[in-house]
Every structure is written in structure tokens, then in C-alpha cells.
Structure 1
């Protein structure tokens, strides 16, 4: 049984569970960056993710409070004014021209290089990756599917949080204070899987799921209950987020 929670989205999230944050080049709100930032001990921007961080923080007083540990990528998206600001404030900007890896992959490689990853230790939180361009979303779905054996990676946007459940049984802790009612089990990257669940409005009992058959979208969490999932093959689990209200700055 694998247990899961998304405590990194709580307003008072602790650093008891080490986390690395990778900020992607997709839009996010000030409330969301504040929550995932405070619950991470190492933060990197994947190329144009630095533009998003810079613009969301709105002024230099806020920006110096949220300086990433690294900006890395092929730097084809990083604006000059953003690069100058972070360089002036001591943030390393690393250009990696490898065209066989995306900016996200480059940042995950940096996490590995620093010895921060590992399924039983450091978690990785991606800010972005499930919205915007479809090809980038598919890359996130594919890459996290590949990483499932070696890394614990969550992808979060202002609307969703999701990750890959490997084959087996999973117990998912549900915090209804910031999670909405809608959830889904998506058979991405597999021909099919067989699912059983508890804690959902419409539970599944040894139900086959595939792109050509059943896909459990728009299911609902049951108030006051956690979720149990049993799956024969890897599957994407997603949950809706309520609008966050943090205002730490």
C-alpha cells in the first residue's frame, strides 16, 4: 500500500517532507506560488518559468523574497530583463543546449545531480505542466509516467493537482479544506488497466479502463472520506483545487 497526501498545499505546510519545486513556463497565481514555495527547500525555474515568477511577484520588493536557487534550460524563453534581475541578485543561470531534453527534464536532472531526489525521500513539485499548450501537457503526462519508479512527482496548477499511481494499492489522504469535489482516474500511457476504488461517489469494482473504453472523469470525492485505489497498471490521478487565498506577502 502506498500512501499519498498533498500537504504541501496547506497554508501551514512544514518542511518535514523534503521537497524540490520546479517552476514551469505556464501561468499561476500569487496564492499558489506562495503555498508551494514555503513548503519547498530547493526551487528552480525551468527557463521561461523565471519570467512567470518575476511577473507574478509584481515588484522587486516581493521578488527578492522569492529568489530561486537556479534557473536552467536552453534559455530560448528567458527575457533579458528577467535574467539581469536574477543574475544581479546572485541566482545562477545555467544554459543547457541539449536538444534531446526539455527544460523540465534538465531541471529534474539537476535535482538528481544534487542528490535531492529519491522515491522515499525528496518529493518534486512541478508548478505548471497541466495547462497551456497541449504538447507540453502531453510531455508532462508522459515524463511523470516514466519517472514513477524512481521519483515522487506532483504536478499542480491553479485548477488541479495530479500524479501517477503505479500498479498496486494506494491510500490518498483528502483535505477537503482546499480540494474541490471533482477528481479523475486517467489511463494515460497504458493500453488498459483494471480499477477498484473506495471513497468516491461513483466507485469502481474491478472495472476495466482505457482510452477506447471507460475513462473515470468528473468523479466526485466523498466529504470526510479518504480515497483508496487499486490498479493493475499505472494511472494518472487528478483532483480539483478550490481557489486558494494565502496573502503571505
Structure 2
């Protein structure tokens, strides 16, 4: 059985490492309507080839550079899309003046996040490019229903886009599909606490290595054991996970790494 390899180089301030990642697919950043620190935005922006704002995410981008309008003019997204009930008038006017496509999509059966992903997929079809790895800035903080939507949507999205990450000021997380995985750990970026969350499944059987409290063919479910508040081991540079069902992997970010 093949082993899927993961890393978080897109969070690094060392872009030369990313350039050397031969065969890497392009990345697309989707900025959601949640708070974030400027350093985190800048790192994700620089590691992604395509930049989208989901409706009110445009407000967040605009406000990040409230005291630095010159830099604001550099961080211009490729697209703003959603039902546009959150974007402020002055923000919409500013990006329209920068010739950013601002797409009003009234579909009430899709969230603004889903609409942005659909736009990325349409761009890939038209241009015949490789599928982008997607990085969400936001989605795991704020309102609980929004967080549950992120967990649910990325769980479903794994079937067509196997590498989609969600990043907040505190955490990075993604779905590990059924099978074996190796997660390369950058201790300069990642904090100690991590978790394996059986979201959207009845039960999985987990085997891990590289954690403080490893699991060995251990059942995990919401009705039983959930591996929260597990710890990375400073001496270990990789975590290995074998799971019979898709699960969420989350790991803490070091605040001092994004000052």
C-alpha cells in the first residue's frame, strides 16, 4: 500500500524550500471572513499562485493593511466571489478599481467557500492546468456552524481534491483519507498539541508512531476514544498514521513563529 506524504512548507518563511519541492502542484489560497495575523497571511499568499476572497474575506484582506495602503495595493486577489452580502461598499469599490473580478453568485445551496472552490475548478478546466492544492485561511474558528461546515466540506472534498488545508492563527488541519500517511514535522512552525478526530465517520481503527501517546489498532469514534490533546515529540521529525476511515488531523501552530 502506498504512503501519502504531507508537509506544511507553505507556512514557512523560507520560500526557497518550497521552490525545491519538485513536482509540487500549484496552490490556491481562499481567504474566509475570519480574523488572522498579517504574518500568516503574507506567508500563505507568497506560497500560493492563485488568491481568492470568499465574500467578507475581502474585508479581512483590505483591513489587514489599514495602516499600510502601499502594501495593500500589492496584495490584490485574483477573484472575489460569493453572495456579496458581507463585503463593504468601500472594499468592493477599491478592488473593482484594481480590476479584480467580483462575482455575485446567488446560489443559496452553496456557501461562499464552495463557490470559490467551484471557480478554481472552472479555471483549471478552461486553462487545462494541474489541480491546485487549496489552502483556506480561516474556517476552524469563530462560529461553530461555520467550523462544522469546514470539517464536513473538506471531508467530502477529499474525493476530488485530496490536498486541502485549513489554517487559522492557532491551528492547521486537513483530512487524512483511509490508508497510510507520513506527516513531516517542522518543529519551528508547529506547537506541541495535535489531534486525530473521527469526524463524519462511525468508527476508524488507528495506528500511529511519532506521538507522545501512540495508538495501536485502536478504535476511535465519537462514542468512544478520540485522540485529542496528543503531543508531538521534539525528537521525532515525522508522524505516521494508519487509518481505516478518513479522519481529521489537526496540529497547533507556534505563535512566536508568526510574529
Calculate the TM-score normalised by the size of structure 2. Answer: 0.91
- Take 1:161 and 1:214, find their aligned partners in 2: how far apart are those partners? 22
1:101 matched to 2:96: no
Structure 1 regions of 5+ residues with no counterpart? none
Q: State the partner residue of 1:48.
A: 56
1:204 matched to 2:215: yes
Kindly indicate whether the alpha-carbon contact (under 8 Å) linking 2:11 and 2:44 is maintained by their aligned counterparts in 1: yes
Q: State the partner residue of 2:146.
A: 136
- Take 2:91 and 2:256, find their aligned partners in 1: how far apart are those partners? 27
- Take 1:246 and 1:165, find their aligned partners in 2: how far apart are those partners? 25
- SS of the counterpart of 1:233? coil
- Take 1:199 and 1:30, find their aligned partners in 2: how far apart are those partners? 32
- Take 1:122 and 1:169, find their aligned partners in 2: how far apart are those partners? 22
- Take 1:220 and 1:246, find their aligned partners in 2: how far apart are those partners? 21
Q: Deviations over 1:205-236 (max 9, x none)?
A: 00000001100000000113200000000000
Calculate the TM-score normalised by the size of structure 1. Answer: 0.95
Post-superposition offset of 1:122: 2.1
- Take 2:155 and 2:131, find their aligned partners in 1: how far apart are those partners? 19
Structure 2 regions of 5+ residues with no counterpart? none
- Take 1:121 and 1:85, find their aligned partners in 2: how far apart are those partners? 30
Q: Where does structure 1 differ by over 6 angstroms across 4 or more consecutive aligned residues?
A: none
Structure 2 residue corresponding to 1:168, chosen from 158, 179, 182: 179
- Take 1:121 and 1:93, find their aligned partners in 2: how far apart are those partners? 22
Q: State the partner residue of 1:124.
A: 134
Post-superposition offset of 1:12: 1.7
Post-superposition offset of 1:60: 1.8
Q: State the partner residue of 2:157.
A: 147
- Take 1:45 and 1:198, find their aligned partners in 2: how far apart are those partners? 37
Decide which moves more: 14-23 or 196-205.
14-23
Post-superposition offset of 1:22: 0.3
Q: State the partner residue of 2:7.
A: 5
- Take 1:108 and 1:122, find their aligned partners in 2: how far apart are those partners? 10
Structure 1 pair 245/239, CA: closer, same or farther in 2 (3 Å)?
closer
Q: State the partner residue of 2:33.
A: 25
- SS of the counterpart of 1:115? helix
Kindly indicate whether the alpha-carbon contact (under 8 Å) linking 2:124 and 2:131 is maintained by their aligned counterparts in 1: no
Q: State the partner residue of 1:241.
A: 253
1:111 matched to 2:123: no
Q: State the partner residue of 2:81.
A: 72
Identify the structure with the greater helix proportion: 2
**Number of equivalenced pairs:** 246
Structure 1 pair 146/43, CA: closer, same or farther in 2 (3 Å)?
same
Post-superposition offset of 1:141: 0.1
